[in-house]
């Protein structure tokens, strides 16, 4: 089974600032980590490879710094990694990003399965996985919480949605996006980390993957961010209950009942 796992490097903090001019996240000075949802995607890829054979290739689009996250994926057990890095990719929205990743997957060739985390914690769009499937014209299942079965030609997954669960059977090639429930990711070993430092990771540009210049970066992005603002602060009122433990408990139950919590 040839598996590509798409990962993204994101700011480590939820207190990221937005540049008022560009409406983009100010990444300078922020510690970067692998998108937490993508760790589950990497783990699932490794588990499937260990069960069915094949290889796991980790793919990311971003600046050179993203090599750190790719090395982390290798230290976890991925076989190899590819970075897509080119000034021409700058300013890509989810559509242009998924186009770029799809072109790279096409270049890798003979891929059976693409796995993405359900969404990135910086953009929170959950659109890149489905976008890749759309560009490649492959079947897809989002919000996958369990791989029920798989063989060399197909995969059966359980996906979660608002009204319950779906069991989907898909022939390869396919794209899935995964939830945190899907597995318990392993922790990198020292041996794995040291080995990952020695692995050469190729960097592909738009020319390497044959991406049309008008479909990547800002030009290839139909989305325009018109305004960005933080959510309004929550209006939390703290109420202190005083008295004997019995009185406090009685009063607490009453207050919870008034609010229909109990």
Partner 1 sequence: MKHRIQKKMYHVEILPPKQDTEKLEADLELFAEKYNRVMESVYCASITDNAMGNLAFQGTEIIEELGLEVNPEQVMIHLNTFHTKQDLHNILDICKSRGIKYLLIISGDGSDRLPRLQPSDVQVKGVVESVTSVELLKYIKDEYPDTFVLGAAFNPYEPPEHEFEKLQRKLKAGASFIITQPIIKKNDIVDELLEKYPDVPVIIEAWMSKKIHLLSDAVGYEIPEDTQFDPIETLKMLHKIYPACGVYLSLLGFKTQYHLIKETWI
Which CB, 75 or 100, lies closer to partner 1?
75
Region label for 56, one of left (φ > 0), alpha (ψ between -120 and 50) or beta (otherwise): beta
Q: Could you say which residues in the range 122-181 bind partner 1, by CB under 8 A? A: none
Structure tokens at 116: 């993405």
Q: Give the nearest distance from C-beta 36 to partner 1 in angstroms.
A: 7
Minimum CB–partner distance for residue 42 and partner 1 (Å): 13
Cβ nearer to partner 1, comparing 191 with 234: 191
Rounded-to-integer distance, Cα 68 and Cα 34, Å: 9
CB of residue 120 to partner 1, shortest distance in Å? 16
Q: Verify binding: residue 185, partner 1, rule CB under 8 A.
A: yes
Q: Which is nearer to partner 1, 61 or 121 (CB)?
A: 121
Binding to partner 1 by residue 184, rule CB under 8 A? yes
- Confirm or reject binding of residue 197 to partner 1 (CB under 8 A): yes
Reduce the secondary structure of 46-104 to three states and give it as a string.
HHHHHHHCCEEEEEEECCHHHHHHHHHHHHHCCCEEEEECCHHHCCCCHHHHHHHHHHH
Choose between 102 and 178: whose C-beta lies nearer to partner 1: 178
| Contacts of 163-169 spanning 24+ positions with Cβ under 8 A | 166/141, 168/141
DSSP string, 225-261: -----PPPPP--------S-HHHHHHHHHHHHHHTT-
Binding to partner 1 (CB under 8 A): which residues in 68-127?
A: 68
11 touching partner 1, by CB under 8 A = no
CB-based contacts of 8, cutoff 8 Å, min separation 6? 34, 35, 38, 60, 61, 62, 66, 69, 117, 120, 122, 128
Instruction: Please report, as residue ranges, which positions from 21 to 60 form the binding site for partner 1 (by CB under 8 A).
Output: 31, 33, 36, 39
Q: Name which of 94 and 183 has its Cβ closer to partner 1.
A: 183
From 164-172, 187-195, 204-212, 247-255, give the range in contact with partner 1 by CB under 8 A: 187-195
State which of residues 22, 152, 189, 228 lies at the interface with partner 1 (CB under 8 A).
189
Q: What span, in angstroms and rounded, lies between the C-alpha atoms of 99 and 195?
A: 31
When asked if residue 223 is in the footprint of partner 1 (CB under 8 A), the reply is: no
Which residues bind to partner 1, rule: CB under 8 A? 31, 33, 36, 39, 68, 184-191, 193-194, 197
């Amino acid at each position: 089974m040839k598996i590509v796992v798409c990962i993204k490097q994101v700011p480590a903090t939820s207190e990221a600032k937005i540049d008022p001019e560009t409406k983009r996240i100010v990444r300078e000075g922020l510690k970067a980590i692998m998108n937490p949802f993508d760790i589950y995607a990497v783990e699932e890829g490794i588990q499937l490879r260990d069960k069915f054979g094949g290889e796991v290739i980790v793919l990311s689009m971003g600046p050179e710094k993203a090599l750190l996250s790719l090395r982390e994926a290798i230290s976890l057990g991925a076989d190899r990694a590819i970075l897509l890095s080119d000034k021409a990719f700058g300013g890509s929205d989810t559509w242009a990003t998924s186009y770029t990743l799809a072109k790279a997957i096409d270049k890798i060739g003979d891929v059976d399965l693409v796995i993405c985390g359900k969404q990135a914690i910086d953009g929170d769009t959950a659109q890149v996985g489905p976008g890749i499937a759309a560009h490649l014209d492959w079947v897809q299942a989002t919000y996958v919480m369990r791989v029920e079965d798989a063989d060399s030609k197909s995969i059966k997954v359980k996906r979660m949605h608002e009204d319950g669960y779906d069991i989907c059977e898909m022939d390869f090639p396919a794209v899935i996006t995964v939830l945190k429930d899907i597995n318990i990711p392993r922790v990198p070993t020292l041996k794995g980390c040291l080995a990952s430092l020695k692995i050469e990771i190729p960097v592909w540009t738009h020319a390497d993957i044959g991406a049309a210049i008008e479909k990547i970066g800002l030009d290839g992005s139909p989305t325009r961010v018109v305004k960005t603002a933080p959510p309004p602060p929550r209006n939390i009122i703290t109420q202190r209950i005083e008295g004997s433990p019995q009185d406090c408990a009685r009063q607490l139950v009453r207050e919870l009942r008034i609010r229909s919590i109990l």
